[in-house]
């Protein structure tokens, strides 16, 4: 576990996490990259968001590289439990990493 980023077309998530699949021989072939929200003051769930020059977005959160799909399912369930009944925030960052906007998503229901 650690902080990680992922490029996405739309930074809003209805599931409360981001998941991508890829392949790399160095880590044994197929793997999954999962990003969950960070938890801050008052147990607030949030992602950092940066707008990229390409028009896409980069989201940052708690990241996991998983090679077993059973672990992916467990982490997805854990992520859903972590944010159940909470509001999800998106903290938009400028090019220097300063928060320029705090956006509140509708309450996530899982």
Q: What is the pLDDT of residues 10-48, one digit of tens each?
A: 999 888 899 999 998 887 889 999 999 998 888 889 999
pLDDT above 60 (res 58): yes
The answer to the question of residue 11 being in a domain is yes
The answer to the question of residue 109 being in a domain is no
* pLDDT of amino acid 1: 63
The answer to the question of residue 110 being in a domain is no
Q: What is the pLDDT of residues 70-87, one digit of tens each?
A: 999 999 998 888 888 888
User: Which structural domain range is residue 81 located in?
Assistant: 2-104
Tokens for 30, please give them: 């197929």
Residue-wise DSSP of 11-64: ---SSSSEEEEEEEGGGTEEEEEEEE-EE-GGG-EEEEEEE-TTS-EEEEEEEE
The number of domains in the chain is 1
Please give the residue that has the higher pLDDT: either 81 or 55: 55
* pLDDT of amino acid 13: 85
The answer to the question of residue 64 being in a domain is yes
pTM for this entry: 0.86
């Amino acid at each position: 576990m650690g902080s990680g980023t992922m490029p996405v077309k739309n930074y809003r998530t209805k599931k409360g996490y981001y998941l991508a699949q890829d392949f790399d021989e160095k880590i044994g072939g197929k793997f999954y990259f999962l990003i969950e929200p960070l938890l801050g003051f008052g147990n607030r769930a949030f992602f950092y968001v940066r707008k990229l020059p390409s028009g896409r977005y980069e989201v940052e959160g708690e990241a996991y590289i998983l090679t077993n799909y059973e672990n992916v399912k467990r982490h997805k369930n854990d992520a859903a439990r972590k944010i159940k009944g909470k509001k999800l925030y998106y903290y938009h960052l400028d090019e220097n990493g300063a928060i320029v906007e705090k956006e509140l998503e509708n309450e996530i229901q899982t």
